[in-house]
Amino acid sequence: MTPRVPRRLELDPVTVRRARTLARRAGKPVVDLARAHTTVSVERATLRMAGLTGADHENVPWVNHLVDAVRDQVGLEHGVTTPIWDALISGAAPDLLTLAQKASSGGVTFRLPEKAHRTRARRAARTAVGRGIRTIDKQRATRERLITRHGDPKQKPWIYLIVATGDIREDIPQAQEAAREGADIIAVIRSTGQSLLDFVPEGETHEGYAGTYATQENFRLMRAALDESSKELGRYIRLTNYASGLCMPEIATLAGLERLDMMLNDSMYGILFRDINPIRTFVDQRFSRQVHARAGIIINTGEDNYLTTADAVEAAHTVTVSQLLNEYFAKEAGLQDWQLGLGHAFEIDPSIPDSFRLELAHALLARQLFPEAPLKWMPPTKHMTGDVFRGHLLDGFFNLAGAMTGQGILLVGMMTEAVVTPWLSDRDLALQNVRYVLNAAGGLTEDFHPPRDGFIQTRARQVLDEAVALLDEIATGSGGADTAYPQPLLAAIADGTFGAMKRPPTKGKGLDGVARKADDYDNPAIDLLETVDPPRSAAGRRREEGATR
């Protein structure tokens, strides 16, 4: 459990409340926009819940073929499930897979059924999709049972370590060895560029540049391997992957079906750093977060990335703004505090005087603003120079800042960051660094109290004030951004407010996969996710409610 950090910054509660009010005002028009639209990936994710898997001989998934066929014939704006289950009931095919195969060659005619035909189709679709949601519920219950059996790590922060060989069969032994060396969370980083694929590859994969493809089979294989490690080590080892990019809803669904425990899921990362259309991203992220909420998955947000393209001191307030927006979007989608792994990073230029004190101020600000959230603390990357000795020292300071400020999830920094893909020996040294600092100074969070009105308190309040000012500009549209957009947050994104990236909502990858919902739009997955609560055991409920206490 995360040590409870005293309210040692003495922040003005009125200012904190105003920050959240402004985040809600800025975010609500975007939520309204997301609720009014659907995307090809949302519809494909719904079919995956209904059990449609597999791909053709060119590795194009059958869900892509089926959604494309429905969109071409009757449009996406009504949802795909009603015409698809109408076709099944009408005898076009005996099952979803056969229907998708026939549709891929133009062998099925879809229609928008009316009256009794529409009622029957929607009832059948809800039954089929409901089976997938029940599978997600069962996987959540399995996680609760295994945590009860094996136990959670005794110490916070949880140690988060990346594995990324490109070959899932090589990732598995590396992940298991990392767990033996002390890692609590294994993150299988994705192959570079997968976020820009508008389909999810099928099956286990053995090649990938700077990472391993996120597929349902790769998820299954790694989760099974880490279950073995959990049994061996007597603590539950968590698995992380990436629900981002053009297939965010589908990957979130696969993660729920295969019992992943954490997913990278940021509301703006794909917009800013992958040039994915803003509307596509916000629609997809809302659905994906609804799935995460149902599956009991902890999300990790990507505020650390802003500091790789903007100065970590001058842009510190944009991290706070993004955290507040991510919190609003997440809770609106059903996520709870214990699931909010809000991101921030140790990225201030170490040559700046008092850089460590500034890092402490920023880390404490995040910890105090979100006291119930398992914050994800990211290591230095931008100012790693290739000097491995200097890098190892910087990582030690990063680990110390995490210990002093009560962070919940600590990503292990590598001394060879920005030089080579880390060797196993690099990982061992990095884990030794973490273990030493946490063993020697893990309790400092109880003792560390910055002086009243001193450097750290003053800096934290300054960043919060700047964040409130920026949120006010965004919420009111008074910051000089393009006011042509009815959603002020989209105007701010278009104006380059975050990460110095200008991304207008009329451009970007994936826009052609967005459709405004018609009045008769139906999606049983959304209905079930919004109206039916997941079953939880008493032990699981107590663990979740006390997760960050």
Catalytic annotation, residues: 269, 304, 376
3-state secondary structure of 150: helix
User: What b/e readout covers 345-363, taking b as 16+ CB neighbours within 10 angstroms?
Assistant: bbbbebeeeebbebbbbbb
3-state secondary structure of 55: strand
Q: For residues 271 and 497, what is the distance between their CA atoms, to the nearest angstrom?
A: 12
Give strand pairing partners of 39.
514
Kindly state the tokens that stand for 345: 């990073």
Contact 139, 294 (CB under 8 A): no
Kindly state the tokens that stand for 5: 């950090």
Kindly state the tokens that stand for 159: 């140690």
Q: How many other CB atoms sit within 10 Å of the CB of residue 148?
A: 14
Q: For residues 242 and 336, what is the distance between their CA atoms, to the nearest angstrom?
A: 19
Host H or E run for residue 321: helix 316-332
Cα–chain-centroid distance for residue 329?
Answer: 12
CB-based contacts of 388, cutoff 8 Å, min separation 6: 415, 416, 419
Contact 315, 307 (CB under 8 A): yes
Q: For residues 161 and 178, what is the distance between their CA atoms, to the nearest angstrom?
A: 8
Q: For residues 29 and 296, what is the distance between their CA atoms, to the nearest angstrom?
A: 27
